[in-house]
């Protein structure tokens, strides 16, 4: 979560001001109870405050029927959402998604929203999980763990106690940034109601740029990675109990720096060869950059390497980005997700350069998550390490087949999906028989999503010859104008052993594409004045022997079935609100 003034839109000047705050840190030692040698600053005492639009004890109600409202992606019921936060999978295989939530149409008044799902698509909105503890102190990003062995001592006779680890970010009365410290809250009911730890913070700090703790379990202790944002340092802490933390090492100054580092992850990711055989598991550091991405604004990078429980060492210093689009940031991995399959993550599908001005505010919401993605590492020709991400099992939302063609070479196919209620579709293209040589530079594959009413479009294409570039173009959607809203993206995508593939999801105002099974990915939001309801897919000048198989499917809305008679999605109305509810009432009555 980025630091920012409350109620102000992000601007270049404010971003530069943010980046100017130094840390002046001494990493040499720690003192008891996780208080590092960073001097602990007393929090100014002032009245409690919470946004008037934030209910306690019941979910926020939302309207999911708007023209721009995604139907198979998660978005908040109302107002503003950004980073995914503490995410975990519980013992009943329920997925928990927490996220940065502000009860206004811009960021600033940060809470933790909460939703749950059994399949990562059909989400049930839950009551707000974390409220700001006092005026001018907000709850920034963090993570969640299940303290199965009660290492914290907070869960007697319990194996499913949930602990959230998060940043408390203070802003002084004159809007100057105050300290950012790390705190915990715990839940006895599986992650629905939380009690802030009475001795917070567990890591004190005098820095205004110290945030976004991610905690994992390593062999016999907890490990935290946390960003010293403007120093381009990821601190690695350890703890036996989630309360007493010791700084062990730093990872710094690798790859792309930008103006600050945020939202780190340290993940044990499987490594497969090109035949799908698992070779090993590789520790990978994932870091988000904002601002300073090559396309502007924010992006996420990753470093495969080695980790021994206290120190991380990258294999090399190469800059590797998770996405070649512009709307994929702050990826977070689910705790306990990989016990029976590859790690799963979600990211925020937006960009700080324009997120607080996008037109979805007319529908009273802003912010959307990417599809849930399974993740693994591989090595590709001429490139080396690649983080492969592909949509998690789409079967729960897959609808009828709209088109299928096993031999679509040098032809054009049109698919009208105007009668698909969700206005969301999945498509895939598999190209085989690609020769190694003698491919004309004019050999292309192109797709377009079009509005017959306004001729607006989102399109993409692949050149099979030359250096094999793929492009994605959202510039034909005319519902949003912003100087930073870059409209075209490209990547060079090599065929592998004579094959190349493309798949994607189009969902009202967001498109995600996956090349070669997710070796390269792009995420982009778009805003057309009228719905895109017609797809064309064409191939031209393909050499003899090349085969193109295509399929297009409708996707089923995950929100329509949840609507009440009033047309609104009310979320979980039966949750037993206790701790969080009491905190909310305290805040509202103070």
The residues annotated as belonging to the active site are 83
Residue among 416, 490, 430 at smallest CA distance from 459: 490
Token pair of 199 as six digits: 């001795």
Beta pairing partners, 493:
none
Token pair of 574 as six digits: 């039966």
Token pair of 233 as six digits: 């340092």
Calculate the CA 190 to chain-centre distance: 23
Q: Are the beta carbons of 388 and 518 closer than 8 angstroms?
A: yes
HSE-up of residue 62 (Cα within 13 Å, Cβ side): 32
CA–CA separation, 143 and 323 (whole Å):
22
Token pair of 302 as six digits: 């990753």
Strand bridging mode 111-117 / 123-125: antiparallel
Beta pairing partners, 449:
458, 535
CA–CA separation, 156 and 164 (whole Å):
18
Question: Which residues 6+ apart lie within 8 Å of 7 measured at CB?
Answer: 104, 106, 108
HSE-up of residue 172 (Cα within 13 Å, Cβ side): 8
Residue 231 is given by DSSP the state: G
- With 0-12 / 13-18 / 19 or more C-beta atoms within 10 angstroms meaning exposed / middle / buried, residue 440 is middle
CA–CA separation, 157 and 20 (whole Å):
48
Q: What angle do CA 500, 509, 406 make, to 5 degrees?
A: 30
Phi, psi of 19 (to 5 degrees): -70, -10
CA–CA separation, 451 and 104 (whole Å):
31
Residue among 266, 206, 279 at smallest CA distance from 235: 266
Q: How many CB atoms sit inside 10 A of residue 492's CB?
A: 14
DSSP letter string, 41-64:
PPPPP------TT--SSSPPPB--
DSSP letter string, 322-358:
S-SSS--EEEEEPBTGGGSSS-EEEEE---TTTGGG-
CA–CA separation, 479 and 81 (whole Å):
21
CA–CA separation, 106 and 366 (whole Å):
8
Name residue, tokens 């975990």. Answer: 88
Classify the phi-psi angles of 38: left when phi > 0, otherwise alpha if psi is within -120 to 50, otherwise beta: beta
Give SS3 for 526.
coil
- With 0-12 / 13-18 / 19 or more C-beta atoms within 10 angstroms meaning exposed / middle / buried, residue 350 is buried
CA–CA separation, 427 and 398 (whole Å):
11
Strand bridging mode 162-171 / 299-307: unpaired
């Amino acid at each position: 979560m980025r630091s920012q003034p409350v109620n102000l839109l992000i601007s270049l000047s404010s971003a530069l001001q943010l980046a100017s705050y130094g840390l002046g840190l001494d990493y040499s030692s720690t003192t008891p109870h996780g208080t590092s040698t960073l001097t602990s600053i007393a929090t100014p005492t002032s009245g409690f405050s919470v946004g008037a639009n934030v209910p306690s004890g019941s979910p926020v109600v939302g309207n999911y029927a708007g023209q721009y409202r995604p139907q198979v992606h998660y978005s908040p019921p109302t107002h503003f959402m950004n980073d995914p936060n503490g995410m975990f999978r519980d013992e009943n295989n329920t997925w928990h998604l927490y996220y940065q939530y502000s009860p206004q149409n811009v960021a600033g008044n940060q809470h933790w929203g909460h939703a749950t799902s059994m399949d990562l698509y059909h989400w049930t909105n839950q009551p707000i999980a974390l409220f700001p503890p006092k005026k001018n102190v907000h709850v920034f990003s963090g993570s969640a763990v299940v303290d199965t062995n009660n290492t914290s001592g907070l869960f007697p006779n319990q194996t499913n106690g949930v602990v959230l680890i998060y940043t408390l970010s203070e802003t002084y009365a004159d809007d100057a940034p105050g300290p950012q410290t790390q705190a915990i809250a715990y839940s006895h009911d599986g992650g629905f109601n939380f009690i802030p730890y009475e001795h917070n913070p567990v890591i004190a700090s005098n820095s205004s740029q110290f945030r976004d703790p991610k905690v994992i379990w390593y062999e016999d202790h907890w490990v935290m990675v946390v960003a010293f944002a403007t120093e381009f340092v990821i601190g690695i802490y350890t703890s036996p109990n989630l309360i007493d933390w010791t700084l062990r090492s730093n990872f710094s100054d690798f790859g792309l720096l930008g103006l600050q580092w945020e939202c780190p992850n340290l993940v044990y990711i499987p490594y497969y060869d090109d035949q799908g055989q698992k070779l090993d598991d590789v520790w990978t550091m994932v870091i988000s950059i904002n601002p300073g991405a090559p396309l502007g604004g924010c992006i996420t990078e990753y470093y495969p390497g080695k980790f021994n429980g206290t120190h991380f060492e990258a294999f090399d210093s190469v800059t590797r980005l998770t996405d070649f689009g512009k709307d994929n940031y702050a990826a977070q991995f689910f705790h306990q997700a990989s016990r029976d399959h590859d790690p799963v993550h979600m990211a925020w599908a937006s960009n700080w350069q324009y997120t607080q001005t996008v037109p979805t505010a007319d529908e009273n919401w802003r912010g959307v998550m990417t599809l849930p993605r399974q993740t693994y590492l591989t090595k590709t020709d001429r490139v080396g390490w690649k983080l492969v991400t592909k949509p998690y099992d789409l079967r729960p939302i897959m609808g009828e087949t709209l088109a299928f063609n096993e031999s679509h070479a040098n032809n054009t196919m049109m698919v009208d999906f105007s009668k698909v209620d969700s206005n969301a579709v999945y498509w895939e293209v598999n190209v085989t028989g690609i020769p190694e040589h003698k491919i004309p530079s004019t050999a292309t594959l192109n797709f377009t999503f079009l509005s017959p009413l306004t001729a607006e479009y989102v399109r993409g294409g692949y050149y099979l010859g030359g250096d094999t570039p793929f492009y994605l173009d959202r510039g034909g959607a005319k519902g949003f104008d912003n100087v930073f809203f870059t409209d075209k993206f490209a990547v060079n995508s090599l065929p592998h052993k004579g094959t190349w593939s493309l798949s994607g999801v189009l969902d009202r105002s967001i498109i995600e594409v996956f090349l070669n099974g997710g070796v390269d990915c792009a995420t982009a939001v778009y805003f057309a004045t009228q719905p895109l309801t017609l797809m064309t897919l064409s191939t031209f000048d393909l050499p003899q022997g090349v085969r193109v198989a295509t399929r297009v499917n409708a996707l089923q809305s995950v929100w329509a079935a949840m609507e009440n008679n009033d047309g609104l999605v009310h979320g979980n109305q039966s949750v037993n609100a206790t701790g969080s509810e009491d905190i909310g009432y305290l805040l509202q009555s103070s």
